[in-house]
Chain A
Amino acid sequence: MNEEISFWILSAIAVLGALVAVRKRNLIHGVFALLVFFAGLSGLFLLLLAEFIAAVQVLVYIGAVGVLLLFAIMLTERVAGDDDRRMISRGWSWGLLAAAAVFVVLLLRPIQQLPSQDAAQPIKPSVEALGHKLINPYVVTLEVLALLLTAALIGAVTAAQGLSMPKEEDSPE
């Protein structure tokens, strides 16, 4: 019963957060709505007894990605967002239609065809086992991931510095 109430509250928070983040004109407000969405999702992970993933969600998304997005917004356009004419792209109705079609055809139907499955069995706290798994079978993946993050860091710095475009020497008139 309690679980049901928390599920509905958390999913309402997540869906509303996502909707506001996507629709809001002011980008800063949008990022804060996105943070609310991440928090709701972290609560859902807790509800599914994935406590470590919930903690990682808070640390990585609310902590790091949120700050990164705020900085990127403040480094680019006007913070207050676009004026009325420029918020929505030209073919927006097709986009909306495509999203609805994906939902109904690609997602809803297979989900309904899944055998219904209720009340999972209780499970043990998984943090310790996760740590062991990271070292024993998944150590190569972990190292590759470390390499990827390093490469992404270097790449991000290089890209953000702006590869100085070679000056177009006196273009032909």
Chain B
Amino acid sequence: MTLHHYLILAAVLFCVGLMGAFTRRNAIVVLFSVEIMLNAANLNFIAFWRYSDNPELLHGPMFTLFAIAVAAAEVAVGLALVIAVYRHFKTVDLESINTLRE
């Protein structure tokens, strides 16, 4: 296995997430597409770390650890916002939440 295998896999996963975020209308599905993208980025960090010249510095895992923690905070706040929006608009359909445009 070379570094390129992992990088291309991460790129594919990232684009699957991007596709989901761009094409779905449900706010929750968009949130988990963002999660997929974040995880693809984490895979990149770990792959670069594994194939780096001095892996004992552990930069990759540290960064990934912090990224996972920030992503967890993001999910919690994001879902709370989705629930608040649902309370207000009675829907999580992103295309009918457009009061700012009117």
Contacts and interface: CB of A to CB of B under 8 A. Distances in A.
A18 B13 contact: yes
Range class of the B interface residue count: 35 or more
Question: Which 6 pairs across A and B sit closest by C-beta, in order of nearness?
Answer: A95-B22, A22-B20, A152-B73, A156-B80, A107-B11, A160-B80
The B contact surface, by secondary structure, is helix
Interface of B: 1-9, 11-26, 28-29, 31-33, 35-36, 39, 42-43, 46-47, 49-51, 55-56, 58, 60-62, 64-66, 68-70, 72-77, 79-84, 86-88, 91-95
Given A102-B15, A103-B11, A48 B50 contact: yes
B51 A120 contact: yes
A44 B43 contact: yes
A19 B35 CA distance: 13
Contacts, number: 238
B15 A65 contact: no
Contacts of B5: 7, 11
Contact of A155 (B29, B70, B77): B77
